[in-house]
Structure formats: structure tokens, C-alpha cells
Structure 1
Amino acid sequence: MIGTNYHFGFIGLGLIGGSIARALKNVYPDCTITAFSRTLAPLELAKSDGNVDNITTSIDADSFGRCDYIFLCTPVQYISSYFMKLKDIINPSCTVTDVGSVKGYVYDAAVSAGLESNYIGGHPMAGSEKTGYANSSAILLENAYYIITPTPLTRHEVLDEYVAIVRSIGSIPIVMDCRTHDHSVAGISHLPHLIAGSLVNLVHDCDSGDGLMKRLAAGGFKDITRIASSSPEMWEQICMTNTSAILELLDAYINSLTDIRNNLAEHNEGYIYNMFERSSEYRNSISDASKGFVPQAYLLHLDIADREGAIASVATLLAANSISIKNIGIVHNREFEHGALCMEFYNDESRTLAAKLLKANNYSLC
């Protein structure tokens, strides 16, 4: 098991990097944490919080030469340049890891920099709609899958220690090779984001002049396209670095759409029935117990009478009990939705507390 006095280095200290640093400091209070960021504000805040011991504006041997682990918490496109800066200053036993959502690209960069024996890929499958160190949390990664991708040169004892660190901060470590990781996330996240974005644009382009589709869009449409609001910069980066895996699954998806179209044209009712039966069975088998890569929406649907002050009463009740609402709205299209009022919360704990409170006050949840 890792010693309590290890030295951790962080390059980049945003939401994920800050959350890992906080968690490590909680579990290993005697450890030393050194952090670098292109902006000084998060470093100064982290030091004042007591989560970072040393802050630096340069990547050199004095700052990172004594680190046992260095976490690269920057956009994937910048990681190769940091590898080049680190390769001549780290100690031979240092493990360099990252938190990127694409692993093959980063592995190739590590090999090019001569760091294959030092590099272990990491992908904590957690996040938030908020960004930056100020919004980081020591519990953000609790019960979240943390993918670990060793290289062929990773020694067993080094991998075991890294797995132990990940487990100690409350995450669920899963070890796999980088190509398997990239294929998997292309299917469960990267392709769905492309589909959601393209579907929203399709409705936009096909809508009537008076925006009827947009006005009617609710319930299921908003649910399956929620991720279309993600950062354009981030998703361009992901798609440009995991292109081959995405293309493979995109081709398969296009073929499946063609198959659906052909069966619709032939009015093959059995095909449509079997498709939804098969998808429903698989979808219902997916557990809600663990955090996944696509951020979850914490929703409650509430039946309330359409009368003046009804929404204000609900909001006041929750606010009086320190429960924050992320979003709230009337469901006008209830064809596929239950409840006239839909509320979204920031986390599952808030949703659970809200549900108990509303039920105790005789509100009907759907």
C-alpha cells in the first residue's frame, strides 16, 4: 500500500485535478502535493485551502523531480508537450498518469516521448456541469469508475500500487488496455454525443417557419438530446483524438439506420417490435448504481394542480430545507412523461431528500 508521505504532482488543477488532489490529501494527510497551472488563481486557492503544499509556474526538476506520481489534468491535445517537458526531469520510478477521456492517443504520445515504462493511463468517469478548481470536491470520484490503462512495460507492482491509490479515494478501478477503453467510450459516450448533436440540428433544420417542432419538443426529445449542449471545444478535441474508434461504431450505426429504414419502407412490423423489445431488455439491465461517463440528470416529476403559486410553493418548501434546484419547468407535452412539473437537482442526495420532503407534505410524485 502507498506510503503516507508520497509526493504527488499535478499539471492542471481544474475540476478533476482539484478533486483528485482533495481526495488524496484527505486519505494521505502527510503527503506532499505540488501543482502547476497556466493561471495562478486556482493554485493560490488550493494552497489556501491546504490541499496543495507547493505551487509553481514552471515545470522543472526543482518542482517535479522528486514526485512519485504526476497527474496530467489538462486537455488531451496538450499532453504530448508536457510529456516532452517531463521526460528529462522526473525520477526513474515516477509514474506519470493522466485523466483524459481518450487513452490510445495519450499512450502513443507517451511512447514518442520515451515514457512508456513510466506512463499509466487513467480516466476517472466523473464530472459536473460546473468547472474549475473552485467547484472541485473530494467526493466527486466516489463510486465512479476509474479506468486504468497500463502499458506493456508497466511493472505489476507499480500497477498494483496505482490501483490501490484509486481505490483508496473511493473510486472503482477497472484495468484494461487503451484500445479497448477507446472502443468502449466511443460506443457509450462519443457516438451518442454526435448523434444527439446531429438530431437536434436535424430538428432545427426541418422545423417549420413558426418553430412548431421546437415548441412541442419536451419529454423524451429533451432527455435523449440533453448531451447535445456539451462543450463544442471539448467534443471536437475528443473526436479528433479518438477518430478511428468513433468511425468504426459510426459506420455500424449508419448500417443499423439503413436497416431500420429498409424495414420501415417494407412495413415490417415484426422488425420494429423486435428492435424495441431487444433494446428495452438491454436498457433495463443497465444499473443506475454507479456513476457513468455521461453525466446523469437527477430528475423528479411531480403532479400539481395548475393554479397560481403552485410552483412557488414547491420551490419555497425545498429552499427552506436547503435543497437547491438546478432546473424547473412545466411539462406541456405529457405524451411520454408523468407529472406536470419536472425538477432537476445537482446530485442524487438532493433528489432523494426532495422526494422524501415532498411526499411528507402530501405531494404526489410520478
Structure 2
Amino acid sequence: MNSKRIGFIGLGLIGGSIARAIRRCFPSSEILAYDTDRDSLSLAMADGIIDYACTKIDEHYGTCDYIFLCTPVSYNSGYLSSLKEILRPGCILTDVGSVKTDIHLKIIELGLEANFIGGHPMAGSEKTGFSNSTAHLVENAYYVLTPSAKVPDEAVQRMREMVAAIGAIPIILGYQEHDYITASVSHLPHIIAASLVNLIKVSDSEDGLMKTIAAGGFKDITRIASSSPVMWQQICLTNGENISRILGDYIDYLGAIRQALDSGNQSELYDLFYTAREYRNSIPNASLGPIKKVFAVYCDIIDEAGGIATIATILASNNISIKNIGIIHNREFEEGVLRIEFYEEDPSLKAVELLRKYRYTVYER
């Protein structure tokens, strides 16, 4: 990609990370941005990530070769209406939302199909805002592109090349197919996790015994229940039809499992766990899907004063940052006494090598 002018509307975690990646890969490009948070724009200017901070959506965006719409879904319609008046032919308009049907329907309504290629970078963080953005956030992550029916093939190819250049893995899908897939592998799991946590909450005794012993495996499989309530409310409202469809299939499947339990059907119960184990083990062990991977290792330590401190010191002295560390008290389904979580994959791999060098028994997931 030659030197281009690239506009951002919204410069939070995702928008800021993509802007940083573009600045790193295409340093001669001009980047302009609009955000209601003036501090984010000031920080982006100070960091040299953007060249222009816009106070509104105006004619500056009419000169862009690419425009990334990186705002909450509920704000998209207003910005699209503003862009319709100034968007130039040949400009690629894209977004980063995790639900695609709503925005595609709005694009069709406004007559912007010749410009629009929907986008969904399958990466994120529990942190928010431009201050937490990184140039490598989307590296090695799937980046789904959902081209409109009237967008030229040449524009789709340019967008693929842009995505690949910043280190992501482009995948082309229809917007309806995208929403059904994400409903199945991302949206439904979040609903299951949230409902399971709430089930335990209302089933717990007054002394909170379930909560006390629910660490370990339970906390791992329900980790995504800690996600933003507002974001998941909006996802459910915008992709409700697909989620309801797959949720219905899941409820039917749960009913079949309950029937197998009630009838004591040995073969069906065995097949439930055997097929799940085989299919899960066939899934590539990489942080490429819509649910962010946790980089954690587990190791055995002797119960003695300073045991955790020793490991923390070993890692810190080798410039390995720890996100979280703690003893696992409920180890019914876990190997390892100590769980250590890292921010990224490379530090976790280095930690495994280092701890084994010091003769710790380390278990990887």
C-alpha cells in the first residue's frame, strides 16, 4: 500500500490499536481521527499516531482512501448519515463491530454499498480506551471482512492486503454467515457463562460455600462472564435472532442430555464426553478465535514461606511481567498448585522454559 490518507471515527482500544499498527507498517500515511474523548486525540497526537485531530465529521473525511468506523454500534447510523454526504468514490469504508447485519442493512438503506466492507477484528482486551491500545493487538488474530454486494473486487483485495499488512489474518464471509457463526462460538458461550454464574449465585447457601470452592475449573470456564454488561446487552439486541436460534438448539441438546441422565443411558453419556474431548482437542491451540485466549501456566510449588515470591522474582529478574498469580485451592480438575497468568503468549512460553530450567514441574494448557 502506497502512502494513503486514513480516517478513524472513534479512537478507543480497537481503533487506536489499528491506527498504531497502520502507523508502524505505513509510516508515510496520513492519519486523521475524530473522537468525543478529546484526551484520546491529544494522546494520539503526542504519540505521533495521528496527524490531524478532527472536531467533527467534515470535509477532511471526503479526502480519505480508507475510513475506519470504530464507535459503539448504537452510534453508527448517525456517523454513516454524515459520511454519505462527503464520501468520495473509491474510498473504502469499514467498521470493527462484532455484529454485521445491522450495519449492512443501514449501508444498503443509505446507498453506500459500493464503498462498504464490514470488518470484525477478533481481538480485544478487558482494558478499554486509546491509552491501552497496542500496535500488536490484532497480530495473528482472525480479521473477518464482510464485503457489500456492490463493492468492487479490487477494493476487497486492497482491504485484504491492508489487514494482512498489520499482522492479522483476513477471512471473507457474508455478513449473515458471520453473525450466525459468532452467535454460535462467541455470543452463546457468553450467555452460557453468565447464566451459569447466576445459577450458582441463586443456588448458593447463605454462607457462600459454592462461591468459596468455585475457583479452579469453574472460574476458568466462566471467565468470559466478567465481560462488559453494556457491550453484551448490545450484542444480544443486535444479533438476537441468530443467538435465539442457536440457543434453542442448545436447549434441545441439554434436554437430550437430561433424558440420558434420567434414563441412565451409559452409551449416550460416554459419547457426550468422548466426542466433546475429541473435537475440542482438534481445535488449533492459538489465540485466533472470537473469545480471547488466556495465557496461563500451572506449576507445583512446595508449601513454604517465600515460595510464590521466589517464582515471582525469577520471572521479574528476566523481564517477564505477570498479570495474575495465585494458589489454586480447588484442584479437582486441575494440575498444579500455582496458577500464573500473563498478558501475552511469548512471556508465558518463556516462563515455562525458565521455570523448568529451575526444576519446577510446569503444566501447560
What interval of TM-score do these two structures reach, taking the shorter chain for normalisation?
over 0.9
Note if contact 2:322-2:343 (Cα within 8 Å) is conserved in structure 1: yes
* Corresponding residue to 1:18 among 16, 19, 33: 16
Q: Give the ranges of 4+ consecutive aligned residues of structure 1 lying more than 4 Å apart after TM superposition.
A: none
Counterpart position of 1:155: 152
Q: Deviations over 1:92-119 (max 9, x none)?
A: 2211100000011110111122212211
Shift of 1:33: 0.5
* Corresponding residue to 1:138 among 128, 135, 140: 135
**Is the partner of 2:7 in helix, strand or coil?**
strand
* Corresponding residue to 1:326 among 308, 323, 326: 323
* Corresponding residue to 1:59 among 57, 63, 81: 57
**Is the partner of 2:143 in helix, strand or coil?**
strand
* Corresponding residue to 2:29 among 28, 31, 35: 31
Shift of 1:28: 1.4
Do structure 1's residue 49 and structure 2's residue 47 form an aligned pair?
A: yes
Do structure 1's residue 164 and structure 2's residue 152 form an aligned pair?
A: no
* Corresponding residue to 2:270 among 258, 268, 273: 273
**Sequence identity of aligned pairs in percent?**
52
Give distance in 1, aligned partners of 2:155 and 2:316.
Answer: 48
Counterpart position of 1:173: 170
Shift of 1:291: 2.1
Q: Deviations over 1:237-293 (max 9, x none)?
A: 111101111011000000001111111111111111011111111100000134221
Note if contact 2:287-2:293 (Cα within 8 Å) is conserved in structure 1: no
* Corresponding residue to 1:220 among 176, 192, 217: 217
Shift of 1:298: 0.7
Aligned-partner residue type, residue 316 of structure 1: T
Q: Deviations over 1:25-56 (max 9, x none)?
A: 12211111110000111111111111101111
Structure 1 residues not aligned, in runs of 5+: none
Matches within 5 A, 1:224-303: 224-303=221-300
Structure 2 residues not aligned, in runs of 5+: none
Number of residue equivalences:
363
**Is the partner of 1:300 in helix, strand or coil?**
strand
> In angstroms, what is the RMSD of aligned CA positions?
1.0
Give distance in 2, aligned partners of 1:198 and 1:147.
Answer: 28
Give distance in 1, aligned partners of 2:249 and 2:161.
Answer: 37
**Is the partner of 2:207 in helix, strand or coil?**
coil
Counterpart position of 2:113: 116
Give distance in 2, aligned partners of 1:289 and 1:275.
Answer: 25
Counterpart position of 1:6: 4
Shift of 1:337: 0.4
Q: Deviations over 1:183-237 (max 9, x none)?
A: 0001111000000000000001001121111111122211110000000011001
With normalisation by structure 2, the TM-score equals 0.97
Give distance in 2, aligned partners of 1:338 and 1:168.
Answer: 40
Give distance in 2, aligned partners of 1:242 and 1:91.
Answer: 31
